[in-house]
Structure 1
């Protein structure tokens, strides 16, 4: 009853404000939305004092953009949005999620205009979801396709006396091959080429759909790039060549259209009506490399460890908060992670399994949810991924850097006193003995067997069927749907609707959700006072031999 009264009061206030705005003839033709750099699904977390002292607009997120698009679409006076697309540093699945939102926005009768200054493949792929594409006259169309380069360090490391000892469940689990080989393994090349092929065909399909041509013609146009703006317009790749100050008159059909940034436009847009909702869905993010302990953001990225780390302790706190809360009816675990520590992944898996016993749990995969990221997703009630999500990589790998040769070159001598047949297993000064190598192999096989069993139980698959697609093999989201590793294609909105359905809540795409991140350790200040010490500690920890459930490549 109290909730309904509060909603009625809010709606009365909003109705008055909407009437006042209509009386004053507040309007906006196009809302300017800048898109550049990273585009996380959820707004980055920051301490309250940082939010109060922040100058300028907050970093955009996909969740915030969805809300902005919904409010513009609700306003009868607005025409649409002007996307100002710069250099993007976001993943393919994120671009697909944003294209889905733009498609729905246009379906409601609104226009999308893309003013693009960085015409590479990701930016142009996104721009092709717009009604109109405009570029500056001096810009260059550079959507030439996709390329991947990997430097292999095996020979270089051997020259300085360093050897990387790697034990993996199969050649497809190739996370460390750049440290042991002089070139790419056939297995890793095959899976990398398959993913790039799928991405290239998605680009061609988007160009064909957005520009009213065929995939074959789109391929010919892409193969002609790079080209100047005049050639791009003549080829039908863009619609107009204008400088930024010419946009208002162009979009106003000879008159000055009112173009406002969101900070000013939201004061002219009509406010949506509030609704009372009995239960809410919690969203629990798992973002970054999975590690044991607390989540943290390092001052600088480290190889394999990355910069953002998803700590098992912090995530366990968030999951248990969702479990205890009487207001939370279901949970969505948003996974954007290449995997990480196998032990930490198993701890998070256990928390997800426990929560599922009491409330529906849906997993939504971001740009990547592979290896340890898939491990923790296996017990979910339903799993969603975008076609371009990188997932799978079901397997385990371990690496020991052996620096004895380097020490010898530097005339550094190591004295050892050991007790126990395998007591030298975690030393990085000497190669493994035959007994240590056998023990290391048994341990990897044990963890891999546990991983497979988690997937078999969670997905209801036969182990023989799983083994054909496991062994570290990497798949796209569309592959994963075909293979039974995920249940449906989609992003966070689709996952939330599924969680609402499983919890018996009415479907409501506008329903607010609670973001649970766990303890205060996620994340610390961007540049903590102990940042250098933390960085050195993590670097030292990264050299320690351990078992990893991690993707063989990041940033595809």
Structure 2
């Protein structure tokens, strides 16, 4: 088992990396590091770049301020009282990270940021910055329903706006559709309001390679969609039923969020639409640049405050 390094050796290595070597870090952050570790590093005082000197008491206070800054950390970027929540890449159920990474965003991370923004008294509005082709069904509708319940039309006190920057299709549009307002540029791509299942039948590939797979079932319908054998009629009907159910939930959600009828949304046939068409069909509230939409939100906030 690897032994842990001696504490004194760790501090010695830290000292060598902090003192008497070139650093590329803001002076405030460097001061916080020294302040937090001053006792262990044996630093009684140090002279700042402005020629003032920090003593032991000052360093304790500075370290305390740093801890308070961490306690006040927000899981979203806030600009003039508006929480900006990115929705980018492939959307998945439980990603476990707050911030989008590796081309994926978790519905769980979006929900945590959204709840925090609603509870933050300093936040006056919420802005979803969306650039996503969509993703998993699991977790999507639950998030959308949570957002919808907090909108102004449902008695919410904070405007919730979505900006399509520049794609919000399928599950990503579901998120946008339930917001109070939806905007995007002329080149936006949106829609694709439906669902599908890609079933992979590799039974012929197995046969071509001389492999014979036998499925031993404990019940007649168990394992009928493994891909090791062609779909039978009941299995195909089951998959179609699952897709149809998801489609109907999706259309109902968009109809509710955009004040359209189910038939209007269903009649879009899962197609994609650009800016002008999306506006004409009622999928968005306006076609404009991000800066123009942001200014409009600022105006609305100022008008309400006045």
TM-score (normalizing by structure 2): 0.67
CA distance in 2, matches of 1:312, 1:433: 34
Q: Counterpart of 2:166 in 1: which secondary structure?
A: strand
Q: Are 1:496 and 2:297 matched, yes or no? A: no
Relative to structure 1, the CA distance from residue 354 to residue 398 in structure 2 (aligned partners, 3 Å threshold; closer, same or farther) is: same
Report the counterpart of residue 87 of structure 2 in structure 1.
286
CA distance in 1, matches of 2:135, 2:219: 29
Q: Are 1:324 and 2:119 matched, yes or no? A: yes
Q: Is the 8 A contact 1:335 1:368 kept in 2?
A: yes
Q: Which runs of 5+ in 2 are unaligned?
A: 1-22, 26-77
Q: Deviations over 1:362-412 (max 9, x none)?
A: 010012111111111111111001111111111111111111111222222
Relative to structure 1, the CA distance from residue 410 to residue 489 in structure 2 (aligned partners, 3 Å threshold; closer, same or farther) is: same
Q: Counterpart of 1:337 in 2: which secondary structure?
A: strand
Q: How many residues align structurally?
A: 224
Q: Is the 8 A contact 2:169 2:191 kept in 1?
A: yes
Q: Is the 8 A contact 1:319 1:355 kept in 2?
A: no
Q: Are 1:423 and 2:222 matched, yes or no? A: yes
Greater relative contact order (Cα 8 A, min sep 6): structure 1 or 2? 1
Q: Is the 8 A contact 2:185 2:290 kept in 1?
A: no
Specify which of 278, 288, 294 is matched with residue 480 of structure 1.
278
Give 1:314 shift: 1.1
Report the counterpart of residue 262 of structure 2 in structure 1.
463
Relative to structure 1, the CA distance from residue 317 to residue 374 in structure 2 (aligned partners, 3 Å threshold; closer, same or farther) is: same
Report the counterpart of residue 245 of structure 2 in structure 1.
446
Q: Is the 8 A contact 1:375 1:455 kept in 2?
A: yes
Q: Which runs of 5+ in 1 are unaligned?
A: 1-51, 55-276, 299-307, 508-556
Q: Counterpart of 1:343 in 2: which secondary structure?
A: coil
Q: Counterpart of 2:124 in 1: which secondary structure?
A: strand
CA distance in 2, matches of 1:410, 1:477: 49
Q: Deviations over 1:473-507 (max 9, x none)?
A: 11001210111110011233333334334445689
Report the counterpart of residue 348 of structure 1 in structure 2.
143
Which structure has the larger Rg over C-alpha atoms?
2
Q: Is the 8 A contact 1:392 1:475 kept in 2?
A: yes
CA distance in 1, matches of 2:258, 2:224: 35
Q: Deviations over 1:131-163 (max 9, x none)?
A: xxxxxxxxxxxxxxxxxxxxxxxxxxxxxxxxx
Q: Is the 8 A contact 1:368 1:391 kept in 2?
A: yes
Give 1:435 shift: 0.9
TM-score (normalizing by structure 1): 0.38
Q: Is the 8 A contact 1:312 1:348 kept in 2?
A: yes
Report the counterpart of residue 64 of structure 1 in structure 2.
none
Give 1:425 shift: 4.3
CA distance in 2, matches of 1:362, 1:489: 14
Q: Deviations over 1:2-53 (max 9, x none)?
A: xxxxxxxxxxxxxxxxxxxxxxxxxxxxxxxxxxxxxxxxxxxxxxxxxx97
Report the counterpart of residue 437 of structure 1 in structure 2.
236
Q: Is the 8 A contact 2:162 2:182 kept in 1?
A: yes
- Note the 1:210-359 alignment, pairs <5 A: 280-294=81-95, 297-298=101-102, 308-356=103-151, 357=154, 358=156, 359=158
CA distance in 2, matches of 1:426, 1:318: 37
Q: Is the 8 A contact 2:184 2:290 kept in 1?
A: no
